[in-house]
Amino acid sequence: MECTLIIIDVIVKFRFIINKMQFQDSVCRCNWIKDDSDYLKYHDEEWGVPQYDDQKLFELLVLESAEAGLNWLMILKKRENYRLAYDNFDPNKVAEFNEEKALGLLNNKGIIRSKLKIKSSIQNAQKFLETQKQYASFSNYIWQYVDHKPILNNWLRSEDVPNETSLSLAICKNMKERGFTFIGSRIIYAFMQAIGMVNDHPAYCFKYHKNQNGVNA
């Protein structure tokens, strides 16, 4: 047992030293991000931080779906364009988007111009409101899966973090039954990470379990 702890300590310290060299400010972060201002701000201030505001939850659901097959930095660079195009991600407004509005989105060079993703985002806004009505808030619905407390994982390396889990599969299945579309299990797990349902910052990252009262995995 003592030998195992020593090995773990060595691995964490090694990652800490290597990771500090990756960023200009010498702060240790998850090694999946790039030394880009938008990426750093997102990682440092949002990713893994519990989010309970319904409008923000809808925003991240739309953005995570838009990212499918692409990369997150591309989405972050287009985030302000999305906010303008999607009425600041007000689900009440998005749910009422008609064919003319959808066509306008399809021709909007500032966002991902995927007909399937755009159609899905409008339908998901409608299902979001239905779920919201049933549970008083979408936050109540989604956070019930973790008893309203984030799961604090204990990864030594970013490479160890899974793309999906049995929980993301269960949530995905239920959301599809509710009529949500374009939400595979991996998209849902990325959504869970984004809203802080799970904290997957590895032990060497300065955001590891920071300022959270959750349940250790």
Q: What is the pTM of this model?
A: 0.88
Catalytic residue numbers, as ranges: 42, 64, 72
Tokens standing for residue 64: 């995570």
**Considering only CA atoms, which of 197, 185, 64 is closest in space to residue 143?**
197
Give the residue ranges of DSSP H helices in 46-194.
54-67, 72-77, 79-85, 91-94, 99-106, 115-135, 138-143, 166-177, 185-194
Q: Cα(91)–Cα(68) distance, rounded to whole angstroms? A: 20
Domain regions of the chain by residue span: 54-209
Tokens standing for residue 81: 């364009």
- Beta bridge partners, 152, equal 199, 216
Percent of the chain exceeding pLDDT 70 equals 86
CATH 1.20.1090.10 fits 54-209, yes or no: no
Tell me the per-residue pLDDT of 154-208, one tens digit each, with 9 for 90 and over: 998 888 999 999 999 999 999 999 999 999 999 999 999 999 999 999 988 999 9
Q: Are 94 and 121 contacting, i.e. CB atoms less than 8 angstroms apart?
A: yes
